[in-house]
Every structure is written in C-alpha cells, then in structure tokens.
Amino acid sequence: MTITKELWGKTPEGKEVLFYTLKNASGAYVKLCNIGAAITSIVVPDKNGKLGDIALGYANPLDYIGDGPCMGKVPGRFANRIAKGKFTLAGKEYTLPVNCGPNHLHGGPEGFMNQVWDSRIEGDSVEFMYFSEDGESGYPGNMKVVAHYTWSEDNSLKLILTAETDALTVVNLTNHVYVNLNGDGSGTVLNHKLELNASQWLPTDPTLIPEGDPADVAGTPMDFVEAKPLGQDIKADFPALKYGKGYDNCWLVDGAMPGQLNTVADLWGDVSGRHMEVLSTLPAVQVYTGNWLKGSPKGKNGEYEDYDGVAIECQKCPDSPNRPDFPSTELRPGEVFEEAIIWVFD
C-alpha cells in the first residue's frame, strides 16, 4: 500500500486543498480530499480487469465547497433532515438554519461538508479531523469529529467515523459518495441492480420528513429485498417517488444492532460487471438516485445529468431529534460516537 499527498492549491480564504491517494499492489486506488473529508475517486477493475473511476466528482476541487449534491463528502453535524430546523434537547429548543424547503439538511449551509478539515497520514490510513464549536449552525457543545479511511489490498474502503462532545448534543454522520459502477461519466445508473437488507422503510411528508410508523416494503416500489433495477419502479404512481422525483428515502436495516457490522446493500453495474457491497454498523440507510444532479458543477468527465449516480448513505434516521421512537442520535460528554461504513468492490 502506498499513500501519497498532493497540494492542489488554496481556497479563497487561503486554506490548503489537499488530496491523498491510497493505492494497493494491484493498482486500484481511492483519492480523498480535505474539503469535507471527501471521497473524490474510487478506481477499481471491471469484469475484464480494466481499471475505471466509479465515484462521481468535480473537475475543479473548489466546487466541492457549497455544492448542492454534497458530492462524496461527510455531512454534519446532522446528516439528512431535521424538520423545520428545530429540536428540543433536555427541555431547551434549538434553532438551526433552514436550507432545504422548510427543513434543515446535512448540518446547514455551513455544515461539515463545506469545511476544510485537518488531515494527516496515519500508518496505512488517512485521517481527517474537524472541530465544531459550540453554537456552530445552532448546535450545542464543542465537538471533535474524525473520519478515518483505510483502503485494502482486496479493494475495500473502510470509513470509521467518531465524535466526542463536551455538552449534550445530537450527531448523525455518514458519507455521501455517489457511485456509478459503469464508470463516472458513463450515463444513468437506473439499470444498476440494487438489493437492500431492509424490509421496512420510513414514509415521509412531501418535504421528506418521516411521518407515522415504519412501513413494510412488501408490495410497494420500495421493495429491494430481492435485487431489481433502480429504474424498474422509479416512475410508479407512488407518493414517495413523486415527492423526490425518484428515490430519496430511508430504509431500516434488518437485524441492526449497535456496534454490529451488517450487510446493508449490494449494487451491481449492468455493463461493467462491477459489484459493490456496503456494510455498516448504522441502523438505517438513505438511498438517493441522484434525482437533481443536472446543473451540478462540471464533473471529472463532463456535465452530470439526473440519475447519473446513486448515493447509499448509511446513517441514523432523519429527524431523529424529534422522534424519540427512532434510534437515539444524542451524544453526551464522556461518550464516543463511533460507527463504521465499508464499501467492498469486486
């Protein structure tokens, strides 16, 4: 395993933009950036052994700051949505910036994904650290967050996310990488087959805030218990698919237990023969079929169109601070938030 560090340039504020490349003996590699602790490339072989980049990303590194898709980055302090940008914690109400219709999304416009993280090579891994101050984007408590990436000789990428706080707060972390297993810039992912280890999903209101109880996927377009093409039911006459112009929904991982690694999803590229397995310790997964990618900053291989990539975001449930029936997202002083996500490519 070799790890190289490259200085691309600086942000307008004078912060260094750094890239790290982790390459194994077969030549397969991942590239990471300190803007948002982002995954910017994943270069793995197809069925013929030809290497190709399957992660979506931008031609200009500065476009990773303030982009709509949250391309490849770690959002926070709270990934996904919080209704009306408000929650109550220990009897006190907190107000967050609203940046997605009436709701707060991915920590707001100044969220972790739009920050330049500290970074270092740590043995055979790359580690990014961000310190979020008390009151930042409305959240209580000073918080230290670490994203620790390791690339293996057998083409698996492991991310361990940790967080610590000095005051009661909430936290929900994931990585928002978009993949196209036929290769970045190759067109739609709607012919990719997806299988989810999830027999329940979270119905939402039209603004994508969960409402009511989890529902069984059986007999609905939300059923991926057996593998099917992403596009098979995407235009079905079904409220969830009309709200987001495709899939932008949360499923509950079957058999999820705190600290236990589970298979969450399997994805197959229809042309390349590539397969990606996603494992995680997290209890839920948001699947987003890139419904609004058109108009994004220019990609590494040209302009993106809607549905050119899919994000499989392992996380806790959206709006959890307002839903005591969901797995808790509270973090207290002395506790450590620690969760893992692993992408395995073959």
CATH of the domain at 248: 2.70.98.10
Q: Work out the average pLDDT over 25-35.
A: 98
pLDDT, position 105: 98
Q: Work out the average pLDDT over 20-28.
A: 98
pLDDT, position 188: 98
275 is catalytic: no
Name the band, by pLDDT with cuts 50, 70 and 90, for residue 73: very high
pLDDT, position 82: 98
Q: Work out the average pLDDT over 327-334.
A: 98
Name the band, by pLDDT with cuts 50, 70 and 90, for residue 281: very high
Which of 136, 176, 192, 339 is the catalytic position? 176
pLDDT, position 310: 98
Task: Count the domains in the chain.
Answer: 1
pLDDT, position 346: 97
pLDDT, position 316: 98
Helix ranges restricted to H, the chain? 239-243
Q: Work out the average pLDDT over 171-196.
A: 98
Residues 6 or more apart in contact with residue 92 via CB below 8 angstroms: 140
Q: Is the alpha carbon torsion for 250, 256, 229, 236 positive or negative?
A: negative
176 is catalytic: yes
pLDDT, position 190: 98
pLDDT, position 177: 98
Q: Work out the average pLDDT over 38-54.
A: 98
Cβ atoms of 46 and 272 within 8 Å: the answer is yes
pLDDT, position 332: 98
Which of 127, 136, 164, 313 is the catalytic position? 313
